Amino acid sequence: MSPALASMKRAAEQPMEYAAEWKARTGRKVVGLLPMHFPGELAHAAGCLPVVLQDDTEPVTVGQANVFNFYCGLNRSLIDQTMRGKFDGLDAIMFGDHCVQLLGTADVIRAERPSLPILFNQLCTTLDANWALRETLGTFEQLWKELEDLTGHRISAEATTESIRLFNRSRAQMRRLYEMRRRGEVTISGRDMQTIVKSSMVMDRGEHVALMDKLYSTMPRRAVSSSDVTVYLSGHMCHAPKPQIIDAIEESGARVVNDDLYVGWRFIHADMDESLPPIEALAHWYLDKNRKMPCPTRTMQGVDWEAYLLSEVERSQARGLIVLMVKFCEPHMYFYPEIKEAFDKAGIPNLLIETEHEEIPMEALKTRIETFVEIAKRRADIKAA
């Protein structure tokens, strides 16, 4: 593993430890960020370290006292980590989603850590409403003020544009790697790709950009094995799937060529317009990106997740789709039947894997994945013949 990737891995696996070191080094504030559409640029412009809060590898224990077991693993883990004191180094949390489970989690965090400010500014979810832009501008203006109050100093428009520029560069770097993987120009595992994106969610962006530059300079360009079955990963809209699942997929003769995962393409696919006043850039970024990559948690007529996936699977020359559905994720449960129907109709092999925070029976899962890979391979062979 390259030193750059090793540094990213450390931050991705121990984000709160990384944040604590950063805070000790800089003397600045660390702001936790809850998924899934809330931008980190403003917090960065305020001089803070925005850290997207992740689930961790610990089983949920003390958290059980404050959350039902029919909530998704991310929410249960966030509550558990709060109660274990993992987030005690945060100076604030900001978010704006309407996920009903996440709203409950935020209330538990507030109850458990009453001195931790939660900057809640709910984003407009009807993206094509004629009031959406006005409302979204207002949301970010309010956040701007609240971050100024938190840090005690003014956030300039220039600093915000500079943060936007940095984040755009960071996203572009990762997109470039995605494209190279899609075109078969580099061999990079799904696990490592997840590490790269996940570390960008928790690290100082400037540091991450520098690490990416180093990574590119040392990364060997080599053609991938043509015998692998190419697959596209979809789902996990708020946190990363367990790396062991991606390993199991790739150890079964499949090669991940693209994804729409949150800790993946979903997080990096859209940039902000650096030429706009920053508040407008933030608002347009939020409102427009759903047309590029549909999210089932937003209401917008004329966009279809399944159509996007069909098109992306074709563009990526993937032979099959693996859907990673987080158990109890309601938006995914609503939209999955249409995805399945569309892929069945198109004759593209597809596999649903329901994931949980704990207790994923890996051996049984491997058998299912191996069977799927065989089916996808045979179908591809028949098609080629």
Partner 1 sequence: MGSLVMDNVVSMPGSRPVFGTGERANKLKSTRFGSKLVNDYWNGVFAAKEEGKKVVWYNGTYIPPFFHSHDLVWVHGEAWSAMLAARHQEVRAQARGDQRGYDRELCSYARTHIGQMLIEMDKARAEGGAALEDPRMEAMMKLPPPDMIVNAYPYCSSGQQWDDITYRVFGKKVPMFTIQIPLLWGGRSDAGYMQGEEWHQRSRYVADQLIELTRFLEANTGRKFDFDRLSDTMGYIKKAAELRLEGMEMCKARPAPASFFDWIVSIAPMSFLPGDQNIVDYFQGVKEEIAERVRVGEGAVKDEKYRLFFDGMMNWNKVGWLADKFAQVNACVVAGRYTHMSFWQEPQLIDLKDPILGMAQNYLVCPNNHGAPIMIGEIEKHCDNYEIDGVVCHASRTCRGMTNSQFLIAGSAKKYGRQAMFFEGDVADESFYKDELLNVRLEAMVEAMEAKRRAA
Q: Which is nearer to partner 1, 130 or 275 (CB)?
A: 130
By CB under 8 A, residue 115 contacts partner 1? no
Candidates 102-110, 153-161, 214-222, 229-237: pick the segment binding partner 1 (CB under 8 A): 102-110
By CB under 8 A, residue 103 contacts partner 1? yes
What number of chain residues touch partner 1 (CB under 8 A)?
A: 45
By CB under 8 A, residue 131 contacts partner 1? yes
Alpha carbons 226 and 97: distance in angstroms, whole number: 41
In terms of DSSP bridges, do strands 320-326 and 350-355 run parallel, antiparallel, or are they unpaired?
Answer: parallel
Q: Which is nearer to partner 1, 107 or 381 (CB)?
A: 107
Half-sphere exposure in the Cβ direction for 30 (13 Å, CA): 25
- To partner 1, the closest distance from the beta carbon of 217 in angstroms equals 43
By CB under 8 A, residue 297 contacts partner 1? yes
By CB under 8 A, residue 186 contacts partner 1? no
* Residue 228 DSSP symbol: S
Pair 30, 53: CB distance under 8 Å: no
Alpha carbons 300 and 281: distance in angstroms, whole number: 20
Alpha carbons 106 and 75: distance in angstroms, whole number: 9
Q: Which is nearer to partner 1, 124 or 256 (CB)?
A: 124
Report the site for partner 1 in 327-366 (rule: CB under 8 A).
327-328, 330-331, 333-338, 340
Report the site for partner 1 in 41-100 (rule: CB under 8 A).
65-68, 70-71, 97-100
Alpha carbons 343 and 348: distance in angstroms, whole number: 5
By CB under 8 A, residue 130 contacts partner 1? yes
H or E element at residue 118: strand 118-120
Residue 321: phi, psi to the nearest 5? -115, 130
Alpha carbons 8 and 41: distance in angstroms, whole number: 20
Residues that bind partner 1 (CB under 8 A): 65-68, 70-71, 97-101, 103-104, 106-108, 110-111, 117-120, 122, 124-126, 129-131, 135, 296-297, 299, 301, 327-328, 330-331, 333-338, 340
